[in-house]
Amino acid sequence: YRRQCDLSVGFVCFLQFSKEKYLLESPPEKLRKELEEELKLSSSDMRSHGWYHGHIPREASETLVLRSGDFLVRDSLSSVGDYVLTCRWQQDVIHCRISKVLVKSVQTKIQYMLEHESFDSVPMLVRHHAGTGRPVCPRTGAQLLCPVNRMLPLRYLEATFALAGGRPGSAHSPSTQRGAHIKRRSVTMTDGLTTEKIIPHSPSTVHHKDAMRNCAMSMDQIQEYRCPLSPAYSSSGRVLAVIPPSPVMRRSSDPHLSPSSSNNNLPCSDMPPSTHCTPAHGYPSESSEQGGSYCELRPGQAPIPPCKSYVERLRVEDGQSPDSGAPDGVEGFMLPLMETSSSFKPGKYQSTLLPAENKPLEMSVLKRVKELLAEVDPKTAAKHITKADCTVARILGVTKEMQRMMGVSSGLELLTLPHGHQLRLDLLERFYTMSIMMAVDLLGCTGSTEERAALLHKTIQLAAELKSNMGNMYGFAAVMRALELPQISRLEQTWITLRQRHTEGAILYEKKLKPFLKAMTDGKESCVLSNTSFPHVVPVLSLLERGVAAGEALESWESVESGVDVVMSHLEAARTIAHHGGLYRTNTESKLQDFQERKEVLEIFCTEFQMRLLWGSRGSEGSQAERYEKFDKVLTALSHKLEPPVRHSEL
C-alpha cells in the first residue's frame, strides 16, 4: 500500500513538472498569438490593457518601472481581489493599493478605490490620472506618465512568477479568467527569464517603451535566452523573476529599516499610520552595497516634491539645460502638420523611362516596361514593390523632421489619426493604380494563350511572394485585386490553359490566396506580426475615407449581415497597426537586408510613374474618379480584343 502511494505521488509530481515545463517552454509563436488575443479583448477587460501585468510579485514590478512616471498595475498578493498601482516618481518606487469595495446605494455595485476616490473600473482610474495629470499619491506628487506594457501573455507571467508553495486566492485574478483548458501550476524558482537578455534597458539603449512595442520580435529569442535566475538583482539590468526574501533584502513596507541611519530604527508604535501609497527605493545606499541592506525612506520624513516640470525633464533628457530653452530658431513643441495636398506630383516627376511629355500607354515606354518586368523573377519584383510601398506608407525612410511634422514616428500610426487624411488618400491611390498597372501588364500580352497563361502564373507567384516571404499584405491585396478584375477573370481560355499547363499555380490561387484575402477583408484572419512588413490596411483606409476616395462601389461590410462585426474587427486591427509601427519597420529592414535594387525596375513600381504611363502627362493630374472610369473602359476594350465575347447568335 505504501509503495502504491509513493508511485501515485511520484506520478502526480511528474504530471505537475511536465505541465510546468509545458507552460514555460511554449513556442514563441504561440506566446505571441496568445498575447495578441489578450490585447484584442474588450477595453473593459483588464487583460486587454498592456499595463496590467497580473500576478507578479512586488520586487519584479519595481524592476520594470525605470524612469520617473513609468507605471503598471498588478494583482495584490496579500489581498485577494485588490490591485496595486506601481509607479516610479523621481528616485522612488511607489506602490498604491487599489481596493475593491462594494458600494450600496440605489443599485449595489463594485467600485475601485485609490486614496479617497472611487471608480467603476481600474481602466477608468488609470485613464483619469494619466489623462488629467492628477497625482495618484498626494504625499509624493507621483503622476502616471508612461505605461510599462507587458511583452508576454498573463498565463506565462503567472507561471514564471508563481510561488513555490502555491498562491492563495489566485483564481480571483483576471489573469486566470482565460479558457478553462489552461490550468496553471506552480513553478520552481530556478526557471524563468531575464529581461536583461530580452530587452535592452541600459541608459545607452533605447527607452524600454520602444522595446516593449517590439515585443513580438523579442519573444523570438525566448527559447534561446532561457537561463537560471541569478540569486540577486543584477546591477546592470532588470531580473524578471521573484527573489526569495532574505535578511539582507527586505521590502520597504517591512518594519525593519536600513541600519545606515540609527534614527530610522523606530519601534512600530512610533511609526505613522500606513496609507495605500508605499514608497520604495530601487537603489541601495553605500551601506547597503557593503553590507547588503535594503534602503528606504524614513517613515516620518516627507519626500522632496518634484523639482522639475515635465517639459524641463524632457529638455534634460534631450541634452538641454532646464533654463536654456529651445535651440535658436526651433520651437520646443511643434504641432503636427495637416497635409492638404497629395505627395504624388506626376506633373513634376522626373523619369528615366518617360519623356517630358507623354501620351497614355505610349507604346515605346510600355514595351520597355514589359521587357524589364520579364527580366525579373517574382521574388525580386516583390522586394521592389515592398520597398516602394513601405516608402510611400512612411514605414521606411522616415527622418526626425518627418516625425516632427507627423507628430508620430510611423506612417502606420498617422493613417489612423485625423490629420492622416491625405496619407490615407495617397495609399488608396497607390493601391488602385498598382492593380490597374498589373492588369495592363496581363492584358497587354498579345501573344498566344500559352504566353498569357505563363504571365498569369508569374503574377500569381508574385502575389504569393508578397504574402508569404515579404509579409507585404498591402501589395499582395493590390496584385490580387488585379487578378480578380472582371476584365481578367473573364479570359476563360487563359484560365483553362493555366489549369492545364500550370496546375500548381491555379491551385495556389484558388485554394490559398483567394480564401486568405477574403478572410482578411472580412476581418476573420490576421497576419502574423513577426513576419509582416506592411499589414492589410486597405479596409481601414476605405472605412475611414468612405465617401471621399474613389474606389469600390460596395465594401465587404456593406454586403453581409455581420457587417458591424466586420467593421469592429477592422477598427481593432487599426489599433494594433498603429501600436506596432516600430515592429513593421524592423521586419521590413530585415527582409530588405542586402537587397540590391535596380533603379529602372523600382521606377516601374513608383506611383507617379504609373500615373504618367496610364493617363499621360496631362491626364495624370485630372479627377481621380474620371481617371478610374476612363481606364475601366480601356481595360474592357483590351480584354475583349484578346478574347472577343461570344455573341448570342453564335450560341
- Whether pLDDT at 439 is above 80: yes
Q: Could you give the CA distance from residue 183 to residue 222 in angstroms, rounded to a whole number?
A: 22
pLDDT at 218: 39
- Whether pLDDT at 478 is above 90: yes
pLDDT at 633: 93
pLDDT at 317: 53
Structure confidence at residue 601 as a pLDDT band (50, 70, 90): very high
pLDDT at 449: 93
Structure confidence at residue 152 as a pLDDT band (50, 70, 90): confident
pLDDT at 642: 92
In the listed set 107, 134, 160, which residue is the last one of a domain according to the structure? Answer: 160
Query: Average pLDDT, stretch 450-475?
Result: 96
Structure confidence at residue 131 as a pLDDT band (50, 70, 90): confident
pLDDT at 556: 60
Query: Average pLDDT, stretch 547-571?
Result: 68
- Whether pLDDT at 609 is above 70: yes
Query: Average pLDDT, stretch 602-623?
Result: 92
Largest CA distance in the chain: 109
- Whether pLDDT at 530 is above 50: yes
Residues 591-626 as b or e (16 or more Cβ within 10 Å = b)? bbeeeeeeeebbbbbbbbbbbbbbbbbebbbeebee
Q: Report yes or no on 318 lying in a domain.
A: no
CATH of the domain at 410: 1.10.840.10
Start-to-end CA distance of the chain, whole Å, equals 88
Long-range CB pairs of 642-650 (<8 Å, 24+ gap) are: 642/443, 642/446, 642/452, 642/491, 642/494, 643/490, 643/491, 643/492, 643/493, 643/494
In the listed set 160, 181, 196, which residue is the last one of a domain according to the structure? Answer: 160
Name the amino acid, one letter, at 237.
G
Are the CB atoms for 423 and 458 separated by under 8 Å? no
| Nearest C-alpha neighbor of 251 from the set 259, 240, 243, 239 | 243
Q: Report yes or no on 220 lying in a domain.
A: no
pLDDT, tens digit, 9 for 90 and up, residues 206-230 = 344 443 444 433 344 433 333 333 3
Q: What is the mean pLDDT of the chain?
A: 74
Q: Could you give the CA distance from residue 593 to residue 446 in angstroms, rounded to a whole number?
A: 37
In terms of pLDDT, which residue wins out, 427 or 277? 427
| Domain carrying residue 125 | 29-160
Lowest mean pLDDT among 217-221, 447-451, 479-483, 625-629: 217-221
The Cα angle at residue 479 between residues 388 and 578, in degrees rounded to 5: 55
Structure confidence at residue 514 as a pLDDT band (50, 70, 90): very high
Are the CB atoms for 46 and 174 separated by under 8 Å? yes
pLDDT at 465: 96
Segment holding 98, helix H or strand E = strand 92-103
- Whether pLDDT at 550 is above 70: no
CA distances from 219 to 193, 211, 214, 245 (A): 11, 11, 9, 29
pLDDT, tens digit, 9 for 90 and up, residues 495-512 = 999 999 999 999 999 999
Query: Average pLDDT, stretch 515-523?
Result: 90
In terms of pLDDT, which residue wins out, 328 or 120? 120
Within 10 angstroms of residue 78's Cβ, the number of other Cβ atoms is 11
pLDDT at 272: 38
Lowest mean pLDDT among 266-270, 324-328, 628-632: 266-270
pLDDT at 106: 67
- Whether pLDDT at 286 is above 50: no
pLDDT at 327: 45
pTM of the model: 0.54
pLDDT at 118: 84
Q: Report yes or no on 184 lying in a domain.
A: no
In terms of pLDDT, which residue wins out, 295 or 545? 545
pLDDT, tens digit, 9 for 90 and up, residues 169-199 = 444 455 555 443 333 333 333 333 333 333 3
Lowest mean pLDDT among 166-175, 376-385, 392-401: 166-175
pLDDT at 93: 93
In terms of pLDDT, which residue wins out, 253 or 626? 626
Q: Could you give the CA distance from residue 72 to residue 151 in angstroms, rounded to a whole number?
A: 13
Question: 3-class SS at 622?
Answer: coil
pLDDT at 434: 96
Segment holding 101, helix H or strand E = strand 92-103
In terms of pLDDT, which residue wins out, 265 or 2? 2
* Total domain count, the chain: 2
Q: Report yes or no on 506 lying in a domain.
A: yes
Q: Report yes or no on 279 lying in a domain.
A: no
In terms of pLDDT, which residue wins out, 246 or 588? 588
pLDDT at 103: 76
Q: Report yes or no on 200 lying in a domain.
A: no
pLDDT, tens digit, 9 for 90 and up, residues 49-74 = 999 999 888 888 999 999 999 999 99
Q: Report yes or no on 350 lying in a domain.
A: yes
Query: Average pLDDT, stretch 515-527?
Result: 87
- Whether pLDDT at 423 is above 60: yes
In the listed set 134, 160, 186, which residue is the last one of a domain according to the structure? Answer: 160
Long-range CB pairs of 501-508 (<8 Å, 24+ gap) are: 501/450, 501/453, 501/454, 501/457, 502/453, 502/454, 502/456, 502/457, 505/456, 505/457, 505/460, 505/461, 506/460, 508/460, 508/464
Give percent of the chain above pLDDT 70.
66
Are the CB atoms for 94 and 88 separated by under 8 Å? yes
In terms of pLDDT, which residue wins out, 131 or 650? 131
pLDDT at 560: 62
Length of the chain: 651
Give percent of the chain above pLDDT 90.
40
CATH of the domain at 59: 3.30.505.10
pLDDT, tens digit, 9 for 90 and up, residues 311-356 = 555 555 555 544 444 444 444 567 888 888 999 999 889 889 999 8
- Whether pLDDT at 553 is above 70: no
Q: Report yes or no on 308 lying in a domain.
A: no
pLDDT at 353: 92
